[in-house]
Chain A
Amino acid sequence: MSAAVTAWELSRRFGDFLAVDRVSFEVREGEIFGFLGPNGAGKTTTIKMLAGLLRPSSGEGWVAGLDIRTETAAIQSRIGYMSQLFSLYADLTVEENLAFFARLYGVTGGRRRERIDWALAMAGLEDRRRRLTGELPLGHKQRLALGSAVLHEPRILFLDEPTSGVDPLSRRSFWELIDDLATRGTTVFVTTHYMEEAEHCHRLALMNRGRLIALDSPRRLREEMKSPLLEVRTSEGLRAIEALSVLPGVLDVALFGRALHVTVEDREGAVERLQDGLRAKKVDVAGIRPIPPALEDVFVARVREAGGAIVD
C-alpha cells in the first residue's frame, strides 16, 4: 500500500517560536488518520503545510506523490480542504457557494449539477439551497463545508478541526459521513482536540508542543499505556484529590466526571495503598478498581512523559 501523505522532519518556525518540530509520519491510502493534541500543539500548522497554505521552514513532505514545497498547485487540485471555522461566503447562498467551489475545482457542466445535488443531499440542505449561508446553523455550515471540499471527488481530504463548536449529535452524524467517505477509498487526514472522536481514526498521531509524541492505532495506544490506571469513586472529590496527590507512587490524579482517575507507578498492591491513604484522611470512598485507560488518559500520560502541555 503506498503512502498518500508523507511528512519527513517537517518543521515550521514563527520568529522565535518553533510551532512544528521535526515531525515525521506516513498516512496510508484509505486511512482515517487523526492528529490529536491540545490547542497550540502544532496540528493546524502541520495540516496547513501539507495543504500548501504555509511554507515549511525545513523538512520535506509529499501529498499524492507530489512535493509540498514545489508542487503545491498540483496538490491543491487533488485534495479537498476544510478550514477551521468552515469559511464559506456568508453572503452567498448555499447553492452559490457550492457552484463557486465546483468551478474552482474544474467540475463542470452536467457533472457539476450532479455533484451539487449530491452535496446538498449529503448535507440535508436540498430545500435550503437558496438560503444565505450566513443564516445557517453551525451544524449545517459544517456539512456544507464538507460538501464543498469533496465536489471534485478528491482522493485525499484534509479536515482542520471539522467539528469544533458543533453539538454532539451533529458531530456524530458528521463522523458517519467521514466513515462513509473512507470506506469508498478516500484518505482522510483530520485534526481534532476532541478525544472521543479520535476513536474513529484508524491511526492517531499525538502532538504536543510541536512534537510528535505518539503514533499508533487507538487500540494499541491504550494497550501500551505504561502506567496503570485506577478509578476511585467517591463523593468527596476535592478532598480525595488532596489526599491522593501526596501519596507516594501516585503519578497523577484527575477528575473524570464523578470519579477520579488515578495513575500509579506500580500495579502491585495499588488498590490497598490508595484505600489506606484515603481512610487515613477520613475520605469516604465508594469503590476503587483498575480500569482500562481511555484515550484521554493515554494522552495526558504521554504529555506528562514528554514534559507537560503548553499553557494557553
Chain B
Amino acid sequence: MTSKRLLAVARKEVLQLRRDPRSLILAFVLPVLLTVLFGYAISWDVDNIEIAVLDQDRSKASRELLDAFRASSYFRLSAFLDDPDEIERLIDRGEVRMVLVVPPDFSRELGAGRTALLQAVVDGSDANTANIAMGYARAIAQSYSLRIAFAGSSFHPPVQAESRVWYNEELSSRNMIVPGLVAVIMMIVAAMLTSLTIAREWERGTMEQLAATPVTRIEVVLGKMLPYVGIGLFDVFSVSAIGVLLFGVPFRGSPLLLVPLSTAFLVGALGLGMFISAITRSQVLATQIAMVATYLPAFLLSGFMFDVSVMPPVLSWLTYLIPARYFLVVTRGIFLKGVGVDVLFVQGLLMIAFGAAGFAAAVSAFRKEIE
C-alpha cells in the first residue's frame, strides 16, 4: 500500500464532495439542524401542564391549596369549573390534562383533624405526561399536607426522603439528548454519506476505470474514508459547541478523550456505510438499507431517548449489538459525568473493536473485480 495512491483517492473524494451540494447539506447542515431542533424544540420536560379545578368547598383552606398549585411552574390553571359534567368534556377534548376536584367537605375534614381527600382526574392517554404530572401533584399535595399536619408542632414525619439528582441536576431533557445526538448524528450521517460513495462509482462506471489501475482495496476504502472522518469530527465539534454554548449543556470531561473514541466510532460507522455501498452497488438500495440499519437502531434502540433497561429481553439483547449504544455511554459519561478512561475502559475497547470491524467489513466487501 502506498500513501500516494491513498491520498490521491482522498483528494479526489474531497474535490467531488465540494461540488456536490446535497452531500454538503447532509454533512454540515443536517447535524446543525437536528441539534437545534432537538435542543430547542423538543423536550420531555413537562411543565405548563394545563389543569382545571372544580372547587366544591371554596374555603380558605381549599384556596390555599389551589394557590400552591398555581404557584408551581409545572401547572397552569386554565379553567375553574362549576359542574362535574364539565370534567368529561374538557378531558375528552384534550383541553386540560388534569382536573383537581376539591370535595365539599374538604375544610371540614381538615379542621376535624381527619384526612381530607383531594381527587385528581388525569388524562391517562399520554401515560408519560400523566405520570410526571401526577408526581408533581403528589409532591405539592405532600408538602401542603405536611404544613397543615405539623403546623405549629415540632413533630416530624417518621421518615423523609432527601433526593438529589446528579449529573443533570435540572433534570433537563436537553442535557440528556445533546450528548446522545453526537452519537446519533454521527451514525446516521456517516452511514448515509458513505453508503452512496462506492455504489455511485459502480453505477456511473467510474469504478471500472478505477479498478483497472494498480490501486488496492485498502487504499480505496481508506482513501474514501479520510474526508468523511474529517467531516465527522467536525460535526462532533459543532454539535458539542452548539450544545454547550447555546443550550448550556455541561461538559465536564476531557475533550482529549472524546476525540479518539469518536474517531474509532466514526471509522466503524463509515465502514458500515461503505460495506453497504460495496455489496449493493446501487445507490437507491444503499440509501434504504443504510436508513434501516443505522437510523432506526440509532434513534430507538441505543438508549438515546428510550431506556434500554425497560425493553423486553429480545430487544434489549439486540441493543447490545448496536455500537451507538456504547458510544452513548461514552458521550454521556464525558459530557455529564465527567468520567475518564478508568470508567469508560470497556466502552473504549468496544469502540476500537467496532472501528476495526467496520473497516474490515468494508475492505472485504469491496471487490475490484466486476465479478
Q: Which residues of chain A have a CB within 8 Å of any CB of chain B?
A: 14, 48, 51-55, 73, 76-77, 79, 81-85, 87-92, 96, 99-101, 103-106, 108, 145, 148, 158
A187–B15 CA distance with the chains assembled, in angstroms: 34
B206 A104 Cβ-Cβ under 8 A: no
Inter-chain CA distance A87–B369, complex, in Å, is 16
Judging by beta carbons under 8 Å apart, are A105 and B12 in contact? Answer: no
In the complex, are the beta carbons of B369 and A55 less than 8 A apart? yes
Q: Quick check: A89 and B206 within 8 Å, CB to CB?
A: yes
Collect the chain A residues with CB atoms within 8 Å of residue B210's CB.
Answer: 104
Size of the B side of the interface (Cβ < 8 Å), in residues, is 29
Partner of A73, one of B19, B206, B216: B216
CB distance from B16 to the nearest CB of A (A): 5
Residues of A within 8 A of B153 (CB): none
Complex: how many Å from CA A73 to CA B368?
A: 11
Known: A55-B369, A73-B214. A103 touches B19 (CB 8 A): no
The answer to whether residues A87 and B205 also contact, given A53-B211, A100-B8 and a CB cut-off of 8 A, is: yes
Interchain CB contact under 8 A, B212 and A76: yes
**Complex Cα distance A83/B213, Å?**
11
Check if B70 is an interface residue, CB within 8 A of chain A: no
Is the beta-carbon distance between B209 and A87 smaller than 8 angstroms? yes
Given contacts A48-B370, A87-B206, A88-B206, is CB(A81)–CB(B214) below 8 Å? no
| Interchain Cβ contacts under 8 Å between A and B, 25 examples | A14-B371, A48-B370, A53-B369, A54-B371, A55-B369, A73-B216, A77-B214, A79-B212, A82-B209, A83-B205, A83-B208, A83-B209, A83-B212, A87-B209, A89-B12, A89-B206, A91-B16, A91-B19, A92-B15, A96-B12, A99-B8, A100-B11, A103-B4, A103-B7, A106-B2
Q: Which of B19, B215, B371 contacts A104 (CB 8 A)?
A: B215
Contact status A91-B20, CB under 8 Å: yes
Within 8 A of A (CB), among B171-221: 204-216
Chain A residues with Cβ under 8 A from B4's Cβ?
A: 103, 106, 108
Question: What is the predominant secondary structure among interface residues of chain A facing chain B?
Answer: mixed
Which residues of chain A come closer than 8 Å to B213, judged between CB atoms?
76, 81, 101, 104-105
Contact pick for B370, options A53, A89, A96, A148, CB 8 Å: A53
Q: Which residues of B contact A106 (CB under 8 A)?
A: 2, 4-5, 214
Query: Is the pair B16, A54 in contact by a Cβ cutoff of 8 Å?
Result: no
Question: Across the interface, do A52 and B15 meet the contact criterion of CB distance under 8 Å?
Answer: no
What DSSP secondary structure best describes chain B's contact surface? helix
Apart from A91-B15, A104-B9, what 6 extra A-B contacts exist at CB < 8 Å?
A: A51-B212, A53-B211, A54-B371, A89-B12, A103-B4, A145-B209
CA distance A77 to B216 in the complex (A): 11
Q: Are B214 and A54 within 8 A (Cβ)?
A: no
Query: Nearest Cβ distance between residue A52 and chain B, in whole angstroms?
Result: 7
* Chain B 212-243: CB-based contact to A (< 8 A → 1; otherwise 0): 11111000000000000000000000000000
> What's the minimum C-beta distance from A10 to chain B, rounded to whole angstroms?
15
Give chain B residues whose Cβ lies under 8 Å from the Cβ of A55.
369, 371
Q: Could you say which residues of chain A place their CB within 8 Å of the CB of B2?
A: 106
A87 CA / B203 CA spacing, docked (Å) = 11
For B214, the chain A residues whose CB sits under 8 A away are 73, 76-77, 104-106
Q: Give bound CA distance, A89 to B206, whole Å.
A: 6
- The distance in angstroms between the C-alpha atoms of A92 and B12, with both chains bound, is 8
Q: Are B205 and A96 in contact (CB under 8 A)?
A: no
Output the least CB separation between B191 and chain A (Å).
22
Residues of A within 8 A of B12 (CB): 89, 92, 96, 100
Chain A residues positioned under 8 Å from B204 (CB to CB): 87, 90
**Choice from A76, A87, A92, A105 contacting B16 with Cβ under 8 Å:** A92
Once the chains are docked, how many angstroms separate the CA of A210 from the CA of B8? 38
Q: Which residues of chain B are near A91, meaning CB under 8 Å?
A: 15-16, 19-20
Q: Which one of B7, B16, B216, B371 lies within 8 Å of A89 (CB-CB)?
A: B16
- Report chain A residues within 8 Å CB of B5: 103-104, 106
Cα-based distance from A53 to B211 in the complex (angstroms): 7
Residues of B within 8 A of A145 (CB): 209
Please indicate the chain A residues that have their CB under 8 angstroms from the CB of B16 in the complex.
Answer: 89, 91-92
Partner of B212, one of A14, A81, A85, A92: A81
Q: Which 7 A-B pairs have the closest CB atoms?
A: A103-B8, A81-B212, A87-B205, A77-B214, A87-B209, A104-B213, A87-B206
